Structure 1
Amino acid sequence: MDLLGALESLRRPLDRDLFPLAVGDAGAERRALRELTGQLDDYLLPRLRAIDAPLLAVVGGSTGAGKSTLVNSLVGADVTEPGVLRPTTLVPTLVVSPADRTWFMGQNVLPGLSRATGSGPGALRVITSDTLGEGLALLDAPDIDSVVTANRELAAQLLAAADLWLFVTTAARYADEVPWSFLRSARERSTALAVVLDRVPPDAVEPVSRDLTRLLAENGLEGTRLFTVPEAPLPDEKARLPASYVGPISSWLAELAADAAERSRVVRQTLSGALDSLSTRVPALAAAVDRQQAAFDGLRSIVSGAYAGGMADFDAGMRDGSLLRGEVLARWQDFIGTGDLMRSLESRVGWIRDRVVGFFTGKVPEAQLRDALESGVESLIRGAADGAAERALEGWSAAPGGPGLLERLGAVEAARLGRASPDLAKRAEVAVRGWQEFVLDLVREEGGERRTAARVASFGVNGAGLLLMLAVFASTGGLTGIEVGIAGGTSVLSQKLLEAVFGDQAVRTLTIRARDDLRERVRTLLDEEAARFTAILETAEPPKGTSAALREAARQIHRHRATLPATTGLPAQEPGERRGTGTREMPVPEPPTRAEGDDPDASTAELPVLGEGRRSRGRGDAGPEEAS
């Protein structure tokens, strides 16, 4: 794997929303994700794939700073649309030399912006100009502090895609915080930068330039190239600045376009800074993914606990005798007086067995008792499922990330989630009937033994099977008063009769097998109910191992960082070497004119000496939210 391959492996896990839950500062983390993805797509990957491609200089700045007028004046043509109404520059304009048009019309740079129409949201106008030399393009970006969020985000995206920033501010607004948040991000990313101080009254050129130079130094941008453009009386908003006012900038850009080695240095400085910034941005993103995963694990644990509680509720219902109430109890009570039966139970098992055989064969139809038992078990299942769903919903409502997840579902769907699913009754019916068939199979299997065949035949398979089903619910816990005697008589009777047919040990084994089978069927139903919750998590949850993949990609990028390919006129960077950390003179000719009060050293000031990247701002490198 090389550096490009490492960046491509970093890009792959970023194709989905990694922060769907509202935990921590999820909004900032989503912005960081968008910013990182954007810079990879718009700058790092395209630049590494074509290290000697033309240089992209983005003209950015605040509302009304005069960016479009400056671009028009630099190229000597009305290629962009300045305007009085705000926001302006709804569609960014890219000005290229005819020789570079094919490169920029492809998807090599800013692949997410369409060149097909050149108008409307998501478009990029590409204009050719003979004024620009081959190897350098100018991009007029929207306002970084636009009242339209989409414009701010697009401006940030374009600046993140640039090799060089030509940052425009004015004498009236150069101290505003929003521009400085972008400039500081340029420092942190080692982005190549020049600042244009526009619309400066002639008598304020010297003090304003001096103060801006001071602010640049205080913000770690000492040595940044600073151009001053005096205020000029223009006949209308679309007029261009006098050539002498923009001459120093035009000359600088012309020399930059003509000097392949200097373009290389600019590319390497910005590319190196962007790569270096990944050493902090990617681990921070991975840690945020870990927080999301912990929240998902917590929500999944709530569901698991709720449905484990539902299973416990069912188990309690099996053992507390409650199923022997109602219809099941009535069928037994219709046939015999429980008190007389219990008094004769020990001494007259054979008589009891004969009476019960009659019960199964005539007095009370076997199907009615079986249906009553089936209905009781189904009700117990539905109750357990309803309780589990309610607990899971309540748990999510109070857990980190849960409320936002439920809000995305909508009130109606969330309310449905707090009850058992509508088709549970049908599935429970199928499960209970399957269990009853399993019990009858147990009886047939046991009745196949010679020693029990005759006794099973005297009851019938159905009769013995019903007795075994009743034995599964033999406890009387939870009943009161007369119910204890009646239900107890029912369960003890079935137990005694089964022992008379199969023997003590066989009854214990059969009862355990019957109970375990029923529990497994119910567990399957509850697992299916829980899956309604876990399916929501699985749909939103980042793929397992995402944070590990991000960290590994960051390690590989660091490992291959020293293999940054050489650009024209530059040797490959040695391990540990940092570009852009010493003073470098730009080969800029003396400007044809200079306004009174301009810095006399402005024409030979160096390109910025910028620091190593330290923290993530992302796609716009300044966070559009700060502009709002």
Structure 2
Amino acid sequence: MTRRTLLSGPSVGADLPQRLQALGRAVELADGRLDPDVIGYARHVLGKATDRLKFGTHHSVVALLGATGSGKSSMANAIIGSDLATTGVRRPTTSSTLACTWGDTDSGRLLDWLGIKNRHVVPATGDGLDGLVLLDVPDHDSVKVEHRLEMERIAEHADLLLFVTDPEKYGDAALHRYLRLLGEHGAVTAIVLNKADMLTNEELHACRTDLARLILADGVGDATILTASATTGLGVPELTELLADLVAQHELALTRLDADSRVAASDLAAEAGPPLATDVPDKIADHLAEELVGASSLDSVAEAVALGYRRDAAAVTGWPLTRWAGRLRPHPLKRLHLGRGSTGPTTTAAASPASTARVNAAVRNAADAATSELPEPWPTLVRDAALPHTAELQDAVDATIAASVRERSKDDPGWWKAIGALQGVVFVAMLVGVVWLVALAVAGFFALGDIPVPEIGPIPVPTALALGGALLGWLIAVIARRLARVGGARRAHKVNKEAAKSMVGVARTHVLDPIKAELATRQQLTDALADAGAQWPKGLR
């Protein structure tokens, strides 16, 4: 009497390599990001799958598991057809695993991998069990730790887990503690209710119903339940036929590995969080750029740009007799290593602790905004991905400001040359007037006679040239200074505007790109987990 769900789903053979490959990608992406223990289990599953598949799928490893006195060894003898497995009459508990194999195909390498020394080949009987490897395993409730560890090791590597219990022990906590670990393994888990001959039909039905309720609560409600009696042979032919059918399909190993990989993928999925599509809105970059500008030296540099413009304009358009004095003062931009022809980093003052804190806070806020819908550890991982770049970020901010200044300062405005040329003409006229007046004075001193002097109205031309040239030169210099003040303010404004605009690119390159890279890694991880067959916990889907 059975309720069979073993291998009742579609074949997993074709999809298993892709699932394992996807799990391998997920492990690589999760390394250093998620719980090392969860990653370690996934690596263990991948390693076990690689090793198990080396031996092919001809052999199906079926482990008989059970508590002391449940009739596990008696059930093994009933399947074998002889008293090969030592029963509780002569031995209280199974102390080591016994392997019984059917068929002519050598299973030695597989048993070596399983670490089983006690082996027996069952003679061919035509029962269709060719390829079956039946393991009689130590009791899972043994008082000896080494017995329980052996049982757990075999259960970890077997293809099919066949738990043997009886009407008295089917509710034992030890049994259900193991069943609760097999929530995704229903297709390769079966429970044999032994000693069915001791119950009436009504009692057997009630017992099976209660067992089904318990395993449903354990999370393996899809596990197969069988009833049998190793003593009378009740249900043993059906159990043997079931095993023959399963062995003939050559799917047990693949199905077990598929279940293991799904569990590993689901564990990683619970750590990674739901497969949400995430994006970084443009407003995050804009806000971050504003904070970078506010924390930078752009205002002081823009002020130096304005002062430098006025100084350079005065050196070209000022009155020739006084313009040299302006060159004695240090150039505001050269002090910042931003003078014409300069390259490389600037020499602006180091960022203050307040500015550094402001930049760090802006980076953290950008990371938090980009991960507002994601669970930990992603907000922390994204912040960690962005914050180490703050030193590079500061250098990039300075370089952006320097590039804007140098671009705007490389050429002189055209009006400088025009006014400078006019100042030259006026200055020459003044010099001509001065020289003329000096010549007239010398002639008068030496009584050389009257020298005719042309006049412009009542003013002699030499006087007009000397005084007019000086006055006009001063007036032109005053006008030029006013124009330079306006031009300097405009250049400073353009530098400020261009640098602020370029700061969005700086924010994207040095903060948002690392954030996007980490989010892209998360997306690749959840995609790989989905391909590996992961199931996300309810509420995280």
Q: 2:510 aligns with which of 524, 528, 534?
A: 528
Show CA shifts across 1:320-367 (max 9, x none): 956668xx59x969x99xxxxxxxx9xx99977989965762223445
Matching residue of 1:362: 328
Alpha-carbon separation, structure 1, partners of 2:349 and 2:486? 24
Show CA shifts across 1:29-49 (max 9, x none): x79x969977994999899x7
Gaps in structure 2 of 5+ consecutive residues: 1-10, 125-129, 340-345, 424-479
Compared CA separation, residues 542 and 402, structure 1 to 2 (3 A): same
Compared CA separation, residues 366 and 550, structure 1 to 2 (3 A): same
Alpha-carbon separation, structure 2, partners of 1:519 and 1:419? 24
Matched, 1:497 2:484: yes
1:174 Cα deviation (Å)? 0.8
Show CA shifts across 1:477-534 (max 9, x none): xxxxxxxxxxxxxxxx999417669xx9xx67x9647843664367336622445545
Matched, 1:390 2:364: yes
Structure 2 counterparts to residues 102-501 of structure 1, below 5 A = 102=107, 105-106=109-110, 124-125=115-116, 127-131=118-122, 133=124, 134-140=130-136, 157-158=156-157, 161-162=159-160, 165-176=161-172, 179=175, 182=179, 189=186, 193=190, 195-197=192-194, 211-215=206-210, 224-228=225-229, 245=231, 248=233, 252=237, 256=240, 263-264=244-245, 267-268=248-249, 292=273, 294=275, 297=278, 301=280, 307-315=285-293, 321=299, 328=304, 358=324, 361-366=327-332, 369-371=335-337, 374=346, 379=351, 385-392=359-366, 400-403=374-377, 406=380, 421-441=390-410, 443=411, 496-497=483-484
Compared CA separation, residues 375 and 173, structure 1 to 2 (3 A): farther
Q: Give the letter for the 1:9 counterpart.
A: Q
Secondary structure of the 2:121 match is coil
Q: RMSD over aligned Cα, in angstroms? A: 6.8
Name which one, 1 or 2, has greater alpha-carbon Rg.
Answer: 2
Matching residue of 1:14: 23
Q: Give the letter for the 1:370 counterpart.
A: L
Matched, 1:76 2:84: yes
Secondary structure of the 1:168 match is strand
Q: How many correspondences in the alignment?
A: 431
Compared CA separation, residues 42 and 273, structure 1 to 2 (3 A): closer
1:434 Cα deviation (Å)? 4.3
Compared CA separation, residues 139 and 195, structure 1 to 2 (3 A): same
Alpha-carbon separation, structure 2, partners of 1:354 and 1:15? 78
Alpha-carbon separation, structure 2, partners of 1:37 and 1:511? 63
Compared CA separation, residues 430 and 312, structure 1 to 2 (3 A): closer
Which structure has the higher relative contact order (CA within 8 Å, separation 6+)? 1
Alpha-carbon separation, structure 2, partners of 1:145 and 1:533? 51
Alpha-carbon separation, structure 2, partners of 1:143 and 1:17? 36
Q: Is the 8 A contact 1:167 1:195 kept in 2?
A: yes
Q: Is the 8 A contact 1:58 1:141 kept in 2?
A: yes
1:263 Cα deviation (Å)? 1.9
Secondary structure of the 1:215 match is helix
Compared CA separation, residues 194 and 400, structure 1 to 2 (3 A): closer
Alpha-carbon separation, structure 2, partners of 1:92 and 1:616? 36
Matching residue of 1:468: none
Show CA shifts across 1:555-607 (max 9, x none): xxxxxxxxxxxxxxxxxxxxxxxxxxxxxxxxxxxxxxxxxxxxxxxxxxxxx
Q: Percent identity?
A: 13
1:176 Cα deviation (Å)? 3.8
Q: Is the 8 A contact 2:98 2:116 kept in 1?
A: yes
Show CA shifts across 1:413-450 (max 9, x none): 95x96576345455555554444443344x2xx66x7x
Show CA shifts across 1:27-76 (max 9, x none): 9xx79x969977994999899x75xx244322123578575786589662
Q: Give the letter for the 2:509 counterpart.
A: D
Compared CA separation, residues 437 and 404, structure 1 to 2 (3 A): closer
Compared CA separation, residues 215 and 616, structure 1 to 2 (3 A): farther
Matching residue of 2:441: none
Alpha-carbon separation, structure 2, partners of 1:539 and 1:13? 14
Q: 1:58 aligns with which of 47, 63, 66?
A: 63
Compared CA separation, residues 132 and 206, structure 1 to 2 (3 A): farther
Structure 2 counterparts to residues 574-585 of structure 1, below 5 A = none
When normalised by structure 2's length, the TM-score is: 0.53
1:16 Cα deviation (Å)? 3.9
Q: 2:101 aligns with which of 96, 101, 105?
A: 96
Alpha-carbon separation, structure 2, partners of 1:456 and 1:177? 101
Alpha-carbon separation, structure 1, partners of 2:116 and 2:422? 93
Secondary structure of the 2:162 match is strand
Alpha-carbon separation, structure 2, partners of 1:384 and 1:222? 59
Alpha-carbon separation, structure 1, partners of 2:527 and 2:508? 28
Q: Is the 8 A contact 1:323 1:377 kept in 2?
A: no
Gaps in structure 1 of 5+ consecutive residues: 107-114, 230-244, 337-344, 460-492, 555-614, 618-628
Q: Give the letter for the 1:56 counterpart.
A: V
Q: Is the 8 A contact 2:291 2:362 kept in 1?
A: no
Q: Give the letter for the 2:330 counterpart.
A: V
Q: Is the 8 A contact 1:190 1:272 kept in 2?
A: no
Q: Is the 8 A contact 1:60 1:142 kept in 2?
A: yes
Matching residue of 1:590: none
Alpha-carbon separation, structure 1, partners of 2:12 and 2:223? 31
Compared CA separation, residues 431 and 292, structure 1 to 2 (3 A): same
1:15 Cα deviation (Å)? 1.7
Show CA shifts across 1:236-260 (max 9, x none): xxxxxxxxx5x8499759x94xx8x
